Structure 1
Amino acid sequence: MPKRVIFILLILFGFNLASAQILIIGKVLESNANLPIEYATISLKDTSSKTPFTGTVTSPDGTFSLKTNETNFYIEVSFMGFKTRAFNDFKIIKNTIDLETIILTQDTEALDEIVVRAEKSQMEFRLDKRVFNVGTDLSSTGASSLEVLNNIPSVNVNIEGEVSLRGSTGVQILINGKPSVLASADGNALGSITADMIEQIEVITNPSAKYDAEGTSGIINIIMKKSEKRGINGSATLNFGDPNSNSFGLSVNKRTEKFNLFSQFGFGIRTFPDELESINQDLVNKTTINSFGESEFNEKFGNILIGTDYHLNENNVVTLSGSYAYEVEDQNSKTNYNQTDASNSTTDSWLRNEKTEADNPKLRYELQYKKNFNRHKDQSLLFSALGNSFRKDQFSDFENTTIIGDEDDFQQKTRTDYTLEDYTFKLDYTHPFLEKYTIETGSQYVINSVSNDFAVSDFINDEWVNNPDLTNVFNFDQKVLGIYTTAAYEGDTWGLKLGVRLENTNLTTVLKTTSETNGKDYTNLFPSIHTSYKITDNFSLQAGYSKRIRRPGLRDLNPFSNIRNNFSISTGNPDLQPEYTDSYEITSIHKMEKASLNFSLYNRYTIEVVERISTFENNVSTSRPENVGTNTTTG
């Protein structure tokens, strides 16, 4: 029995020795000035096959460390423009190999063969998009993605970080073809992306069937580089504007062999002054109510974003990210009202003061999985799930002070509890074949749930009394399921892309105060066709057609309104129908030696156009959205 115990202990002891990790450390310097070399490659190679099995790169101070369980290896240290050094004879002391200081000398022969090309940013045509390749003239400057966007023709970014395309806001911004936390407008999260991380930016003014049919402003798709540089990268932005538009942003990115960690933090203060004026005329009784005043909207905000990409292997990547923003708002306004009779004499005059405060917490989170395939570099499967939560807690106080007339002073206050929950699930598959052909197919499911709890109270006999005529709870629930397929041929001279998208919309609105329920369920087909033709190497043409939709939102449908101005009221219409647009476009690009010239002609024909129709009764102007007809826009 003692012999068996000793034998087992020897086996366990031997296993411990075999599994002990070896730590390898050192520091790499260049020979001229003994300065540290960052990003030098440290490779562990099998002694027999000469193939590397693990490795690392040096940090900014030239140091490195890595661990291995292998025992049959040698160490190789290399860096571009320097002679490679190999270490076969080293000592292992307490499971550690200390190479101490490694000096690399310049390889003059290799340096003579290096050709440095200054890659310039340039625009090119694809079937259904314009592609802006980000060159070293921008990526080497440390510019943010917002600055890169500002360099693209027809794209503009204001000091608040709001992106517009052809002068229209509401542009949908995608990261690698999908919605993303980084693409959120909240807190300028795009500032966490620097130019050297961007491969291309696609500008899609007339989207194909692959993309959501909602909206007419267009799409900007930011394509990230597949392998951003390792180590820690960061950028900081500081903006000043007048009146009082100041913000600070800090972004940090750290990339290792398996992980890419990214984060962004920002805060700021903004002020939006405004002047108010309206005139209500009763042409029958010859009376007029004139109002004029000033308001100031102040916003303080802070946000934080954090996320990671985990590379399971060369073909599989998982991304998990989230952001949180918090806004504090206050608005003050003073409006003077004057009522005159037929002789233009003032009969009544009063002052209306408003003080509004609101807190807005915002939360966004995302999970993504992408799989690439070895058979073709553009074959991919992408799944993403994006969630968005927003809440507004708002309180307003209104006070009317009579200056002229017999009206009594009075006070009102309002409370708004607004909540929004959005969820987007997206699956896309791209399959290239026969070199010049590509098929895309996929689906998207969007859930949009909004609740608006609005209450009004009047100050009567020294107490606050709820006003049931103006108090309401309005719920909005919309689900949109879309499926699509596209087929494309892209040759050297010309290309053609056909697509079709099917979307089913299920909408339910409930006005709890009056127990009114409205439901809509409709299905639409959205075709698209795009073509391009290269007349010469420097001159190309592109043409496209797509069908779009604009669905009414909660504010368009909610029949109740606020009480900011009791004589100029804006309400919603629960019976409103969506707008449908046929969009046509033709674009040319002429490349010259140091510039490129773009010319575009577009036409949009819209039916069921939504316009606000105003009615006037008892000196009160009430506007309500209605589907009034058609509209043609050419530019």
Structure 2
Amino acid sequence: MKKILYLTCLFLLGIFAHGQELELRGLVVDKTTGQPIEFATVLLADPETKKPITGLTTDLDGRFKMTTDATDFFMEISFIGYIKTTIDQFDKTKKRIDLGSITLEQDVQNLSEVTVTGEKSTTEFKLDKRVFNVGKDLSSAGASALEVLNNIPSVTVDIEGAVSLRGSQGVQMLINGKPSVLTSGDGTNALGTITADMIEKIEVITNPSAKYEAAGTSGILNIVLKKDEKQGLNGSVTLNTGIPDNHSLGLSLNRRSEKLNLFSQIGIGRRSFPSDNRSLNRNLENGVSVENIGDHTKNEKFYNFILGADFFLNENNVITLSGNYALEQEDEIGNNNYTEYDASNQAGNRWTRVEDTEATNPKWQYELQYKSDFTDHEDHDLLFSAMGSSFVKDSETNFTTTGDRQALERNLTDFGENEYTFKLDYTRPLSETYTIETGAQYAINDVSNDYEVLTNTDGNWVTDSNQTNVFNYDQGVLGVYGTVGFEKDPWGIKLGLRMENTNLETYLETDDVRNVQDYTDFFPSAHTSYKFSEELSLQAGYSRRISRPHLWILNPFFVQRDILNIRRGNPNLLPEYTDSYEVTSIFKLGDVSMNLAAFHRYTTDIIEDVVTTEEIVIEGETVTRTVSTPENVGTAKTYGLEMNAKYSAIRWMTLSMDANYGYFERDGEYEGQVFDFTGNRGGGRFIAKFKLPADIDVEATGNYRSGYRELQEVREPQYFMDMGVRKKILKGKAILNLSIRDVFASRKFESTTSQPTFYLENSRQRGRFVTFGVSFGFGKGEAMEFSGQKRF
């Protein structure tokens, strides 16, 4: 009996001892200065598995207090720019342990003196994509996701942070294989808050498989984050100023624990986008010309708020809720100065048309995601997401015409758009070599655009019924897909099929004109890859894609900024269909890495702008103006080559080059006029990056885009250069950025249109933009290295 009582007491004591919490507290200070270190990370971990038990960050006074019921652990204290400290000896007989002052020593080793070997970034081929594994290159140390992207072949990140793939900005951005609030929105530049050390790999998909929606984009970039994402409180703050006016303040915060990850971003600022423009409209039948020389400035105040949370139900299931609210307040001023010339080139009437626009644009976005990773295989998972967004634009534009012609005009726009997307994806490896994927998506787009034009007659505003209407646009797309893949060294193959049903209805209320399209399409895909050696891999792919006419080219009403050169939409447009073929290879020749791709695209019902003329009456005088309208005109065949090369043998210098060339054949007819022609188009980019002493980085990018011909229009080539200088201070916790876009103010958009009855010239130039920014990272966050400018 005594033995039983003794064992019972030991058992109860063991339960009590196990359930008793131990409190640890302390103060983290700088070893040299003795000053407290705020937001230092304090982590308790299991000594055998090294897995975290609990963690937190120090407060503003450098102090911390934490509790644990674990009986075996060690403590790790760290902060960016300091050498990590570990404590593994504790007096666990006490309920409360005061560790006193814990000193951290600054890491005085300069980053530019570190030599990293064996962990360089590498590119490899998968069945339907290229994978860029992010290593510990010196060029990526402390960099943002945008700078990492800019180092990837085929990918370009301009000075505003806009991402392009093979020269096109129609790129779908994903994080961990799914849409994210961090990759959405125009000009939020939120990817600058993801740093290189958080990224495991980036997947480049130039020819997407049937898994992805068939909408015609230039490709997909998927950023895969490391599983050991930073614990504790992390963040960064950035301040930018520039010429022309570009002033912004941004704050990014992230708080992560084992069960919860909270993230938020706040951005406020003001920016201006000036431009100069010129047009010449010549009537070849009577010899009369009208020249317009003008300027336009758009000023914008913006406020952007992002808030979200990841709820880790367990190690295999996570729910994410996020929301984004943005408000833009715009005012635009435009001046167009017209001069009319007769057939002998003598100047006649002169008049000025001034535009004054004010607009308010609130935007909402919200998102729910659920992901489940099954325990039988790391790639066996289920993902459900539901996203919604709302965009409203309420604007008023006043046009005042003075001089030899006088008029007052007012345009009112009440625009509203709602989008909803529901998506389910399931991936199941059947064995080590076979994998199946299946899923479905339903996307809804509901738009109403109320557009009214008023003219002033004898002091009274009168609605112009010929230019006033309400345009409604409702589209629903249902997609279902399935793929099967086989992969075993050295080769693999993946086949897929996607079905999409599109239901589109447009309705002009005032004219009572309704257009309904309901069609179902099948989109097959096939991809294969073969690895000849460590130095040579080859990949080939085929996919069928669709490019549905978007809202703005369907809407027949536009603001008439230049009354003699206008653009109208076409609600009767049909979608384009493209068959895309591609062969891509990667070579590794010592310190030079090179990608070479050959591709072919065949497109039917291609959409092109057709320019015509019409006669209008201004103050009793008949004048000719050009009208640009999108039409389905024939077919297009494109044959192209792309090359990417990178040389990085010298530690302080990296040289890279991208070049592309395409030859195209066009066959088309519109209203009895044949538009058959051939042409070519190319471009190139050369980037030189230098790492100078004192943690200074310099980058220069030279760009060339060739001229090319479209259906009626000929576009002139472009030459321009961008530069940037970056300086790290405070052991990398802060960064100074200076960026200059279009250094020599040489980037111009110029085009000519020559037809039997008219000739048209157009040019536009934005000029040089200079931005200076300061960014500071705290916790384990690192300073952002791109300035948050708006892309355009």
Structure 1 residues 504 and 526: alpha-carbon distance in aligned structure 2, compared to 1, 3 A threshold: same
The question of 1:623 aligning with 2:622 is answered no
Give, in whole Å, the separation in 2 of the partners of 1:433 and 1:86: 49
In structure 2, the residue matched to 1:634 is: 639
In structure 2, the residue matched to 1:10 is: none
In structure 1, the residue matched to 2:24 is: 25
The question of 1:137 aligning with 2:137 is answered yes
Structure 1 residues 341 and 259: alpha-carbon distance in aligned structure 2, compared to 1, 3 A threshold: same
In structure 2, the residue matched to 1:9 is: none
The question of 1:56 aligning with 2:57 is answered no
In structure 2, the residue matched to 1:264 is: 265
Give, in whole Å, the separation in 2 of the partners of 1:442 and 1:532: 24
Once the two structures are superposed, the pairs formed by residues 45-444 of structure 1 within 5 Å of their partners are 55-57=53-55, 59-60=57-58, 61=62, 63-66=64-67, 68=69, 74-79=71-76, 84-85=88-89, 87-90=91-94, 92=95, 97-101=96-100, 119-137=119-137, 141-186=141-186, 187-239=188-240, 242-403=243-404, 407=405, 409-444=406-441
The residue type paired with residue 428 of structure 1 is: D
Pairwise CA distance, 1:58 = 5.6
Give, in whole Å, the separation in 1 of the partners of 2:353 and 2:298: 17
Structure 1 residues 87 and 432: alpha-carbon distance in aligned structure 2, compared to 1, 3 A threshold: farther
Pairwise CA distance, 1:54 = 9.2
Pairwise CA distance, 1:460 = 1.2
Give, in whole Å, the separation in 1 of the partners of 2:587 and 2:144: 28
**Structure possessing the higher relative contact order (Cα contacts under 8 Å, 6 or more residues apart):** 2
Cα contact 2:573–2:631 (8 A) shared by 1: yes
Pairwise CA distance, 1:236 = 3.5
Cα deviation 1:490-525 (Å, max 9, x = unaligned): 111011111111000000111011111111000111
Structure 1 residues 633 and 239: alpha-carbon distance in aligned structure 2, compared to 1, 3 A threshold: farther
In structure 2, the residue matched to 1:581 is: 578
Larger CA deviation: 607-616 vs 236-245: 236-245
Give, in whole Å, the separation in 2 of the partners of 1:241 and 1:130: 37
Pairwise CA distance, 1:267 = 2.8
Q: Any idea what SS the aligned residue of 2:307 has?
A: strand
Structure 1 residues 327 and 528: alpha-carbon distance in aligned structure 2, compared to 1, 3 A threshold: same
Bigger CA radius of gyration: 1
Give, in whole Å, the separation in 1 of the partners of 2:85 and 2:326: 46
Give, in whole Å, the separation in 1 of the partners of 2:335 and 2:101: 73
Q: 2:489 aligns with which of 489, 492, 509?
A: 492
Pairwise CA distance, 1:63 = 3.5
Number of residue-to-residue matches in the alignment: 594
Pairwise CA distance, 1:293 = 1.6
Pairwise CA distance, 1:242 = 4.5
Pairwise CA distance, 1:296 = 1.7
Cα deviation 1:358-391 (Å, max 9, x = unaligned): 1111111111000001100111000011111111
Cα contact 1:118–1:137 (8 A) shared by 2: no
Once the two structures are superposed, the pairs formed by residues 593-608 of structure 1 within 5 Å of their partners are 593-608=590-605
Give, in whole Å, the separation in 1 of the partners of 2:586 and 2:491: 14
Cα deviation 1:147-190 (Å, max 9, x = unaligned): 22112122112232211111111211111122221111332222
Structure 1 residues 83 and 472: alpha-carbon distance in aligned structure 2, compared to 1, 3 A threshold: closer
Larger CA deviation: 506-515 vs 134-143: 134-143
Q: TM-score scaled to structure 1, two decimals?
A: 0.86
In structure 2, the residue matched to 1:458 is: 455
In structure 2, the residue matched to 1:3 is: none
Give, in whole Å, the separation in 2 of the partners of 1:625 and 1:51: 63
Pairwise CA distance, 1:247 = 3.8
Structure 1 residues 425 and 29: alpha-carbon distance in aligned structure 2, compared to 1, 3 A threshold: same
Cα contact 1:446–1:480 (8 A) shared by 2: yes
Structure 1 residues 577 and 103: alpha-carbon distance in aligned structure 2, compared to 1, 3 A threshold: closer
Give, in whole Å, the separation in 2 of the partners of 1:566 and 1:104: 71
Pairwise CA distance, 1:336 = 1.8
The residue type paired with residue 182 of structure 1 is: L
Give, in whole Å, the separation in 1 of the partners of 2:342 and 2:73: 95
| RMSD, aligned α-carbons | 3.1
Give, in whole Å, the separation in 1 of the partners of 2:63 and 2:403: 76
Gap regions ≥5 residues in structure 2: 1-15, 77-83, 105-115, 616-623, 641-792
Q: Any idea what SS the aligned residue of 2:605 has?
A: strand
The residue type paired with residue 620 of structure 1 is: R
Pairwise CA distance, 1:240 = 5.1
Structure 1 residues 83 and 473: alpha-carbon distance in aligned structure 2, compared to 1, 3 A threshold: closer
The residue type paired with residue 89 of structure 2 is: R
Structure 1 residues 152 and 52: alpha-carbon distance in aligned structure 2, compared to 1, 3 A threshold: closer
Pairwise CA distance, 1:419 = 1.0
Give, in whole Å, the separation in 2 of the partners of 1:383 and 1:259: 19
The question of 1:524 aligning with 2:521 is answered yes
Q: Any idea what SS the aligned residue of 2:558 has?
A: coil
Q: Any idea what SS the aligned residue of 1:536 has?
A: coil
Q: Any idea what SS the aligned residue of 2:128 has?
A: coil
Give, in whole Å, the separation in 2 of the partners of 1:19 and 1:493: 53
Give, in whole Å, the separation in 2 of the partners of 1:529 and 1:283: 52
- Kindly, what percent of the aligned residue pairs are identical? 52
Give, in whole Å, the separation in 2 of the partners of 1:425 and 1:169: 24
Pairwise CA distance, 1:119 = 2.6
Cα contact 1:571–1:623 (8 A) shared by 2: yes
Pairwise CA distance, 1:564 = 1.8
Once the two structures are superposed, the pairs formed by residues 549-588 of structure 1 within 5 Å of their partners are 549-588=546-585
Pairwise CA distance, 1:278 = 2.5
Q: Any idea what SS the aligned residue of 1:149 has?
A: helix
The residue type paired with residue 88 of structure 2 is: T
In structure 1, the residue matched to 2:668 is: none
The residue type paired with residue 227 of structure 1 is: D
Q: Any idea what SS the aligned residue of 1:376 has?
A: coil
Give, in whole Å, the separation in 2 of the partners of 1:553 and 1:562: 17
Larger CA deviation: 18-27 vs 124-133: 18-27
Give, in whole Å, the separation in 2 of the partners of 1:541 and 1:500: 23
Cα contact 2:55–2:257 (8 A) shared by 1: no
The residue type paired with residue 159 of structure 1 is: I
Cα deviation 1:245-301 (Å, max 9, x = unaligned): 444432121111111111122233333222333333333333222322221222222
Q: Any idea what SS the aligned residue of 2:57 has?
A: coil
The residue type paired with residue 157 of structure 1 is: V
Q: TM-score scaled to structure 2, two decimals?
A: 0.70
Cα contact 1:142–1:235 (8 A) shared by 2: no
Give, in whole Å, the separation in 1 of the partners of 2:132 and 2:343: 63
Cα contact 2:392–2:417 (8 A) shared by 1: yes
Cα contact 1:269–1:300 (8 A) shared by 2: yes
Structure 1 residues 628 and 20: alpha-carbon distance in aligned structure 2, compared to 1, 3 A threshold: same
The residue type paired with residue 26 of structure 1 is: R
Gap regions ≥5 residues in structure 1: 1-16, 106-115
Q: Any idea what SS the aligned residue of 2:73 has?
A: strand
Give, in whole Å, the separation in 1 of the partners of 2:602 and 2:242: 38
Q: Any idea what SS the aligned residue of 1:378 has?
A: coil
Larger CA deviation: 570-579 vs 612-621: 612-621
Cα deviation 1:88-128 (Å, max 9, x = unaligned): 523x4xxxx345449899xxxxxxxxxx9763222111111
Cα contact 2:554–2:573 (8 A) shared by 1: yes
In structure 2, the residue matched to 1:108 is: none
Cα contact 1:76–1:86 (8 A) shared by 2: no
Give, in whole Å, the separation in 2 of the partners of 1:104 and 1:461: 81
Cα contact 1:74–1:86 (8 A) shared by 2: no
